[in-house]
């Protein structure tokens, strides 16, 4: 937290962009420094996430790469092949990478959860999917910011301001 608060504006924005690829989001969060504590930073990050425009969201999504949860054992190759195919179908339908926050899912269940979500979300219309992807990106951003700041940060699920 201290490093983020004392960093130059450019350094702070570059660091924040590792959590969310939106330039406007990173600028907004960086410009309100210094933050008195991690809860204030997470609240500001969340608010900036809710205020992202379609262009901000597209910029952030362009920085994302497909998520491929690890799996082992029988069927792993087939599961990863199915995941890659579902990712390709999703990108063809919506024009961007599929994102999902799986932090609250046990590692052994992540691949199945991603596949189920991909198939379900392929049935969304573009407006419906826009809302879902904005929420998933917001959750991913808070998770990444939490990891960036280290173990002293409270769980982002407890800092929600809906």
Domain boundaries along the sequence of the chain: 2-60+137-159, 65-132
On the 0-12 / 13-18 / 19+ scale of CB atoms within 10 A, 48 is buried
| C-alpha torsion sign, points 18, 136, 94, 81 | positive
Query: How many degrees, rounded to 5, is the angle at CA 62 between CA 110 and CA 14?
Result: 95
In Å, the largest CA–CA distance within the chain is: 50
Residue 156's CB: how many other CB atoms inside 10 A? 21
Query: Residue-wise pLDDT tens for the chain (162 aa)?
Result: 899 999 999 999 999 999 999 999 999 999 999 999 999 999 999 999 999 999 999 999 999 988 777 777 777 788 888 899 999 999 999 999 999 999 999 988 888 899 999 999 999 999 999 999 999 999 999 999 999 988 754 445 444 443
- The pLDDT, as a whole number, for residue 153 is 47
pTM above 0.75, yes or no: yes
- The pLDDT, as a whole number, for residue 152 is 58
- The pLDDT, as a whole number, for residue 74 is 74
| C-alpha torsion sign, points 74, 80, 83, 84 | negative
Residue 39's CB: how many other CB atoms inside 10 A? 13
Q: Domain 2-60+137-159 belongs to what topology?
A: UraD-like (1.10.3330)
């Amino acid at each position: 937290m201290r490093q983020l608060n004392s960093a130059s504006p450019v350094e702070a924005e570059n660091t924040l962009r590792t959590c969310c690829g939106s330039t406007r989001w990173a600028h907004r969060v960086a410009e309100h420094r210094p933050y008195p504590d991690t809860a204030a930073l997470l609240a500001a990050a969340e608010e900036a996430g809710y205020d992202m425009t379609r262009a901000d969201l597209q910029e952030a999504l362009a920085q994302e790469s497909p998520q491929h949860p690890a799996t082992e054992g029988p069927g792993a190759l087939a599961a990863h092949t199915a995941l890659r195919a579902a990712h390709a179908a999703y990108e063809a339908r919506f024009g961007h990478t599929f994102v999902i926050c799986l932090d609250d899912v046990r590692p052994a269940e992540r691949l199945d959860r991603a596949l189920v979500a991909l198939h379900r979300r392929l049935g969304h219309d573009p407006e419906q999917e826009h809302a879902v992807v904005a929420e998933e990106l917001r959750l991913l951003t808070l998770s990444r910011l939490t990891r960036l700041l280290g173990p002293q940060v409270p769980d982002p699920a407890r800092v929600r301001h809906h």
